[in-house]
């Protein structure tokens, strides 16, 4: 029997993941705070639940893909009436290290088998089922959750939880410290080019094809030059993740300068009214 999946949160990432769960032939219930965003998944074959509790009732695997840890805890508390001990909970939201502890406690209260499972990849890989799933959790959860990870991802990196828990969330913060610095760097370089009267294409030509080039630079630079802020990864989520990275580093007595500065830049992007736009809109935070 295929595992039955409940997916809570059908935003940019959750919607793409839901479609790939369906494509893999797994029965799927979805719930989203804003019901209209979940409705198209009903037409694609999912059962659209009216409440989180209805979504999770009798599901084998519960997937959360919400904005932050506060949302995860609030929504899972709303789901409490439908949860049952032994269910597997794949927590895919980027929640950082400290807030993960609250999620561990919530899982323990309900007897859930928690898999810390943040993902690497943005809107397009989510829609294509090409995410990288970083996973840490009890071995007895794997048989149920692996078909779900196989549906949404190109690979799963199972990590040993040998340094106090949150192994996958810790790796996710390291990856995102790189992503946030890169994207802030692209935004700044193009803003500097404009300010100095340098053709942005001259900058791209200067680094193109060499060791300083990378696909991510080309994609984000193209978006900035076209002023196309269609979100793959919102500036608001980038600001949120920068805060999680800085908090985790402080807890570990690691001084980070770039992540803190990138966080300021993404927060300014949000204050300028571009929170729901792509993180590439940090280009606008130079004016
Ligand atoms: N986009 C990426 O490239 C990417 C990649 C990897 C990981 N992530 C992480 O994955 C998570 C989701 O990202 P996303 O890009 O899909 O974000 P998103 O499009 O903003 O979706 C956020 C989801 O959280 C829900 N939500 C927000 N506030 C809520 C609340 N108070 N109560 C209940 N639900 C609430 C939203 O519901 P509504 O529709 O009602 O607002 C939506 O379903 C984030 O933690 C993000 O950092 C994102």
**Burial 34-57, CB ≥16 within 10 A → b, else e:** eeebbeebeeeebebbeebbbbbb
Q: Measured in angstroms, how far is the CA atom of residue 90 from the centroid of ligand 1?
A: 15
HSE of 160 in the Cβ direction (CA atoms, 13 Å)? 2
CA of 135 to the centre of ligand 1 (A): 19
| Half-sphere exposure (Cβ direction) of 240: Cα atoms closer than 13 Å | 19
Q: How many helices and strands in the chain, by DSSP H and E?
A: 12, 9
How is residue 190 written in tokens? 């193009």
Blockwise average pLDDT, block size 10, the chain, 287 residues: 96 98 98 97 98 98 98 98 98 96 95 97 97 96 98 97 83 98 98 98 98 96 98 98 98 97 98 98 96
- For ligand 1, the distance from its centroid to the CA atom of residue 140, given in whole angstroms, is 28
pLDDT at position 1 = 86
Q: Is the pTM of this model over 0.85?
A: yes
Instruction: Look up the CATH number of domain 5-165.
Output: 3.40.50.720
Letter string b/e over residues 273-283, b meaning 16 or more CB atoms within 10 A of that residue's CB? ebbebbbbbbb
pLDDT of the residue at 245: 98
Taking the C-alpha atoms of residue 24 and residue 150, their distance in angstroms, rounded to an integer, is 9
Region 169-286: CATH code: 1.10.1040.10
Residue 162 pLDDT: 66
SS3 category, 113: strand
**Backbone angle region of 253, left / alpha / beta, with phi > 0 → left and psi within -120 to 50 → alpha:** left
pLDDT of the residue at 164: 62
Q: Which atom of ligand 1 is nearest to the CA of 118?
A: 7
Which of 67, 75, 152 to mutate to test ligand 1, by most ligand atoms within 8 A of the CB atom?
67
- Cβ burial of 147 (10 Å; 0-12, 13-18, 19+) is middle
Cross-strand pairs, 30: 7, 48
> Ligand 1 site: residues with CB under 6 angstroms?
9-14, 32-34, 37, 65-68, 71, 74-75, 93-94, 119, 122-123, 232-234, 237, 241
Q: Rounded to whole angstroms, how far apart are CA atoms 136 and 203?
A: 41
Distance 12 CA to ligand 1 centre (A): 7
Whole-number pLDDT of residue 194 = 97
For residue 77, count other CB atoms closer than 10 A to its CB. 14
> Which atom of ligand 1 lies at the shortest distance from residue 66's CA?
24
- State the sign of the Cα–Cα–Cα–Cα dihedral 228, 230, 232, 233: positive
Atom of ligand 1 nearest to the CA of 33: 40
Domain locations along the chain: 5-165, 169-286
Pocket test for ligand 1, best of 19, 128, 237 (most atoms within 8 A of CB): 237
* CA pair distance 234, 36, nearest whole angstrom: 20
């Amino acid at each position: 029997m295929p595992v039955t999946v409940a997916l809570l949160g059908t935003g940019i990432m959750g919607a793409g993941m839901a479609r790939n769960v369906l494509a893999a032939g797994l029965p799927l219930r979805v719930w989203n705070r804003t019901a209209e965003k979940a409705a198209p998944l009903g037409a694609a074959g999912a059962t659209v639940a009216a409440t989180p509790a209805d979504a999770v009732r009798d599901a084998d695997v519960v997937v959360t893909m919400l904005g932050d840890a506060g949302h995860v805890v609030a929504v899972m508390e709303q789901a409490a009436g439908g949860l049952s001990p032994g269910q597997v909970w794949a927590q895919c939201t980027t929640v950082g290290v400290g807030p993960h502890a609250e999620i561990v406690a919530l899982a323990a209260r309900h007897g859930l088998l928690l898999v810390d499972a943040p993902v690497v990849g943005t809107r397009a890989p989510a829609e294509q089922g090409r995410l990288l799933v970083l996973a840490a959790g009890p071995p007895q959860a794997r048989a149920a959750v692996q078909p779900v990870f196989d549906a949404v991802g190109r690979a799963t990196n199972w990590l040993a939880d040998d340094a106090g828990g949150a192994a996958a969330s810790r790796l996710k913060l390291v990856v995102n410290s790189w992503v946030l610095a890169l994207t802030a760097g692209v935004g700044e370089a193009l803003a500097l080019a404009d300010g100095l009267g340098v053709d942005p294409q001259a900058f791209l030509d200067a680094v193109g094809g060499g060791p300083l080039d990378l696909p991510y630079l080309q994609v984000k630079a193209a978006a900035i030059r076209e002023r196309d802020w269609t979100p793959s990864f919102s500036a608001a989520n980038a600001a949120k993740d920068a805060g999680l990275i800085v908090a985790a580093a402080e807890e570990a007595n690691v001084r980070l300068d770039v992540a803190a500065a990138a966080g300021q830049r993404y927060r300014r992007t949000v204050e300028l009214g571009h929170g729901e736009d792509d993180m590439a809109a940090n280009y606008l935070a130079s004016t």
